Amino acid sequence: MARLNRFIEVMQQQSGTGLSVAEGKPICLMRGNTAHPMTREALTAGQVTALLKEIAPQELRGRMASDAALQFAYQAPAGEVQVTLRTDDGRTTALLTPAAAAPATQDAPAAAPVPRAAVRDSEARRPSAARTELDRLLTMLVETGGSDLHLRVGEPPVIRRDGKLARTDEAPLTADDLQQMLESIMLPKDVTQHAETGDADYAYEIEGVARFRCNAARDRRGPMGVFRVIPSAIPTCDQLGISREVQKLCYLTKGLVVVTGPTGSGKSTTLAALVDLMNREREEHILTIEDPVEFVHESKRCLVTHRQVGLHTQSFKSGLRAALREDPDIVLIGELRDLETVAIAIETAETGHLVFGTLHTTTAVSTVDRIIDQFPGDRQPQIRVMLSESLRGVIAQTLCQKVGGGRVAAREILLSIPAVSNLVREGKTYQIPSIMQTNRKVGMVTLNDSLLDLVERKLVEPKEAYMKSVDKASLENAMKAKGYALPFLKAAAT
**Does residue 121 register a pLDDT over 70?**
no
Q: Which residue has the higher pLDDT, 124 or 66?
A: 66
* Residue of 389, 361, 363 whose CA lies nearest to 255: 389
Buried-exposed string 51-67: b where 16+ CB fall within 10 A, e elsewhere = bbeebbeeeeeeebeee
Q: Which amino acid does the sequence have at 325? A: R
* Residue of 411, 300, 296, 274 whose CA lies nearest to 354: 274
DSSP 362: S
Task: State how far the Cα of 452 lies from the Cα of 462, in Å rounded to an integer.
Answer: 8
Please state the domain count of the chain.
3
Whether residue 119 is contained in a domain is answered as no
Give the model confidence (pLDDT) of 321-368 as tens digits: 899 899 999 999 998 988 999 999 999 999 899 999 999 999 999 999
Same domain flag for 249 and 372: yes
Choose the final residue of a domain: 231, 256, 277.
231
**Does residue 64 register a pLDDT over 80?**
no
* Residue 349 and residue 337 in contact, taking contact as beta carbons nearer than 8 Å: no
- What is the Cα 255 distance to its own chain's centre? 25
Q: Which residue has the higher pLDDT, 189 or 225?
A: 225
Whether residue 329 is contained in a domain is answered as yes
Residue 444 is predicted with a pLDDT of 97
* CATH number of the domain where residue 427 is located: 3.40.50.300
DSSP 432-479: HHHHHHHTGGGT-B-HHHHHHHHHHTTSS-HHHHHHH-SSHHHHHHHH
- What is the Cα 327 distance to its own chain's centre? 25
Same domain flag for 183 and 198: yes
Choose the final residue of a domain: 211, 231, 251.
231
Q: Containing domain of residue 340, as a range?
A: 237-493
Residue 156, φ and ψ in degrees, nearest 5: -70, 160
Residue 493 is predicted with a pLDDT of 58
* CATH number of the domain where residue 57 is located: 3.30.450.90
Residue 91 is predicted with a pLDDT of 78
Residues 6+ apart with CB under 8 A from 110: 104
In order of 183, 308, 345, 424, the CA distances from 418 in angstroms are 52, 36, 21, 10
What percent of the chain clears pLDDT 70, i.e. is strictly above it? 91
Local confidence band at 37 (pLDDT 50, 70, 90 cut-offs): confident
Residue 65 is predicted with a pLDDT of 62
Q: Which residue has the higher pLDDT, 46 or 253?
A: 253
Same domain flag for 349 and 288: yes
Residue 494 is predicted with a pLDDT of 53
Choose the final residue of a domain: 231, 265, 281.
231
Task: State how far the Cα of 93 lies from the Cα of 202, in Å rounded to an integer.
Answer: 31
Local confidence band at 311 (pLDDT 50, 70, 90 cut-offs): confident
Same domain flag for 301 and 450: yes
Q: Which helix (H) or strand (E) holds 30?
A: strand 28-31
Whether residue 196 is contained in a domain is answered as yes
Same domain flag for 266 and 415: yes
Same domain flag for 208 and 134: yes
Local confidence band at 115 (pLDDT 50, 70, 90 cut-offs): very low
Residue 303, φ and ψ in degrees, nearest 5: -95, 125
Same domain flag for 105 and 221: no
* Residue of 317, 304, 253 whose CA lies nearest to 275: 304
Same domain flag for 9 and 84: yes
**Would the pTM of this model clear 0.75, i.e. be above it?**
no
**Does residue 464 register a pLDDT over 90?**
yes
Same domain flag for 361 and 260: yes
Whether residue 347 is contained in a domain is answered as yes
* Residue 166 and residue 158 in contact, taking contact as beta carbons nearer than 8 Å: yes
* Residue of 309, 343, 211, 346 whose CA lies nearest to 268: 211
**Does residue 426 register a pLDDT over 80?**
yes
**Does residue 163 register a pLDDT over 90?**
no
Share the mean pLDDT of the chain: 87
Residue 492 is predicted with a pLDDT of 60
Local confidence band at 109 (pLDDT 50, 70, 90 cut-offs): very low
Local confidence band at 122 (pLDDT 50, 70, 90 cut-offs): very low
Same domain flag for 242 and 379: yes
* Residue of 220, 221, 146, 134 whose CA lies nearest to 182: 134
* Residue 461 and residue 410 in contact, taking contact as beta carbons nearer than 8 Å: no
Same domain flag for 192 and 327: no
**Does residue 87 register a pLDDT over 80?**
no
Whether residue 171 is contained in a domain is answered as yes
Rg (C-alpha) for the chain, rounded Å, is: 28
Q: Is 291 helix (H, G, I), strand (E, B) or coil?
A: coil
Same domain flag for 373 and 481: yes
